Amino acid sequence: MKYVIGIDLGTSAVKAILVNENGEVCGEVSKSYPLIQEKAGYNEQNPEDWVRQTIQALAELVSTCQVQVNDIEGISYSGQMHGLVLLDQNQCVLRNAILWNDTRTTSQCMKIEEEFGEQMLEITKNRVLEGFTLPKILWVKEHEPETFEKAALFLLPKDYVRFRMTGTINSEFSDAAGTLLLHVTRKKWNYDICKRFDIPTEICPPLVESHDCVGALLPNIAEETGLSKKTKVFAGGSDNACGAIGAGILSSGKTLCSIGTSGVILSYEEDKERDFKGKVHFFNHGRKDAFYTMGVTLAAGYSLNWFKETFSPNETFEQVLHGVESVPIGSNGLLFTPYLVGERTPHADSLIRGSFIGMDGSHKKENFVRAVMEGVTFSLHESIKLFRKEGKSVDTIISIGGGAKNNTWLQMQADIFKAKVIKLESEQGPAMGAAMLAAFGSRWFDSLEQCAEEFIREASTFYPKESNVERYEALFNIYEEVYFKTKDLNAALTTFRDR
């Protein structure tokens, strides 16, 4: 039996899975690392934490699965998008990585828009937002000029981990698409953007395809993990591109709902000229010469994790979710908006903050938990509404991530989205997509589609219930109003906090 390993470098943890040639997950190890939040809006991590925990995860996976290491033919990666890792000329990290959910770069975004206007949208197919990589580079240039002067290269999170494991430096198109430096349809760095902001063009790493083999493990990494030095390493993709691959979103008409730390609604695109005018993201897929459109909820699973850690830190998620199935639709008049770190789609607003509305003395913990689940799903539904408005058909949705681990939440998605929702047998999301890129790169299959036919199996299907759909439609109308009615109040509170 042959095997591959998929590594998913998430925001809170790295996960490594061992997958055999039948698509069966034979082992899984997860290792967490801390988030560094020096002040409101700042989110950083130490890249060395990623490397150390990835090596430990691989070592544990190899030792516990008891397979012959020579039978593990390939490794590939999925990773959190947009994060900035700056290296000096000796390839040493210059500062903590600034993450995708960091919102300190509003003024830099304004400068980019002033300089380029709509031209930036034409080049990158995406609006200028705080989460992207270019504003982070400009923030370092402005606020940490000594660090910027030493910067010889930037890498995205999973690309840095792969570099440390192979000694090879590169990025690939699905992750590069989230930097605001890539011409998305031409698949080339746009050096004019760099030059206009006095950024050395050499700072951009070489680009490869997601399934390309970029080298093998360094001898010391092979020794530390127990893997063979001959194990091939493949480039991999962004977490959302790999999530799409791992869910079989490889042709038009398929839609993905992924609830991790953030949440996404993702749809496959073949037409590179499709123009959503920046209303949703448009990125390169992990499948060669393909694309995907995506709406994002910044605090999806993070909202539920925040609630758990704040109010029930000693309970498991299963305990926290206990009883939500018996709470009626609308959580007995309690509504939650998941704007804990701002919002992305449809409101590109880094300052808006979350809220519970309608609280009274009768509400119990399970009301609040269900309200969080409903609020997150409403936010994702706003992206589906945008897709449908642009003429895309969204009638079947594959759900992965935390939202696919609970049947009540899956039924909630079917009712709110008014669509058939499918749960997969093996819900590994981006890690499975990374493993599939390694399998395809290792030439187990002639195409990713062929790999998907072997690796991906449906487990259960949830259909919308008409009576639930009607109630949720009425509640969703109220939810949409909350943003506009609280925006000014949130701005005032932010000003008060920052005095």
Give the pLDDT band of residue 314 (cuts 50, 70, 90).
very high
Q: Which of 351, 372, 350, 376 is nearest to 363 (CA)?
A: 372
Question: Distances from the Cα of 428 to the Cαs of 81, 148, 287, 298, in angstroms?
Answer: 18, 38, 18, 20
What is the residue-wise DSSP string for 389-446? HTT----EEEEEEGGGS-HHHHHHHHHHHTSEEEEESS--THHHHHHHHHHHHTTSSS
pLDDT digits (tens, 9 = 90+) for 97-134: 999 989 899 999 999 999 998 899 999 999 999 999 99
pLDDT digits (tens, 9 = 90+) for 438-469: 999 999 999 999 999 999 999 999 999 999 99
- Contact between 435 and 19 under an 8 Å Cβ cutoff? The reply is yes
Helix, strand, coil shares, percent, the chain, to 5: 40, 20, 35
Is 294 annotated in some ligand binding site?
no
Phi-psi region of 389 (alpha: psi -120 to 50; beta: other; left: phi over 0): alpha
Structure tokens at 24: 């069966």
For residues 20-29, average pLDDT:
95
Give the pLDDT band of residue 310 (cuts 50, 70, 90).
very high
- Among candidate residues 239, 349, 360, 415, the one labeled active-site is 239
Q: What's the start-to-end Cα distance of the chain, in Å?
A: 63
Structure tokens at 297: 């909820």
| Annotated catalytic residue 159 | no
Structure tokens at 128: 């200028």
Q: What pLDDT score does 261 carry?
A: 86
Element (H, E) at 255: strand 255-259
What is the rounded average pLDDT for all residues in the chain? 94
Does pLDDT of 170 surpass 90?
Answer: yes
Cα–Cα distance, 233 to 299 (Å, whole number): 32
For residues 183-196, average pLDDT:
96
Instruction: Answer positive or negative: Cα dihedral of 434, 437, 443, 444.
Output: positive
For residues 62-88, average pLDDT:
96
Give the pLDDT band of residue 274 (cuts 50, 70, 90).
confident
- Contact between 245 and 287 under an 8 Å Cβ cutoff? The reply is yes
Is 81 annotated in some ligand binding site?
yes
